[in-house]
Amino acid sequence: MTGIFIALPLIFYHFWRFVKPALYPHERKYFISAVFFSTFFFLLGAFFAYAVVLPVALRFLLSFQSEKLHATLSIANYIFFISKLLLAFGIIFQLPIISFFLTKMKIMKPQFLRKSRRIAIVLIFIVAALLTPPDVFTQLLMAGPLILLFEISVWVSVFAAKTSKQTSPFSFEKKT
């Protein structure tokens, strides 16, 4: 896992070198912006997990120790736990980016997000339960930011819908 993180800049560089000749200049601008914001939100999610969620989750999980019950932490399990948490939060923080592009491509509308808010909150709790360790507290620590990210995604979608009335390179409609 660590090797992948260390190699990511080189992987991205070679991917960019492969894709760049196939893109028009205006598409390159969007691609670079997408990579920048995607990286920013991934790192923001990983930082949030490391700085906020991880200390609270570890404190909560270690609070179950007693005289008869001792925590046996191993480096492998600890690193796996941290990696899973950082990766999950990094991926989850991509929600506004996904919302932006789906709206720009006219696959999703802001009205759809507003109408499906209740369903989204239930799905957020299901996703949080699947991506976090098996405790409710860590699930809530993921679901809270996810709900906030969903609301941000609604506003991002509104912004993308307003700006997509202009010419968009992501439009599937034929230009005549």
Q: How do the pLDDT tens digits run along the chain, 176 residues long?
A: 567 767 777 887 888 889 888 888 877 877 888 888 888 898 899 899 899 888 888 887 788 788 888 878 889 888 888 888 888 888 888 989 989 888 888 888 889 989 999 999 999 999 888 877 677 877 888 789 889 999 999 999 999 888 876 555 555 454 44
Does 169 reside within a domain? no
Distance CA 140, CA 129 (A): 9
Give the count of domains, the chain: 1
**Token couple for 113:** 């997000």
Does 174 reside within a domain? no
Does 173 reside within a domain? no
**Token couple for 10:** 């080189």
Distance CA 39, CA 36 (A): 5
**Token couple for 153:** 């995604």
Does 51 reside within a domain? yes
Does 168 reside within a domain? no
Instruction: Please give the model's pTM, rounded to 2 decimal places.
Output: 0.75
157 lies in which domain range? 2-64+75-163
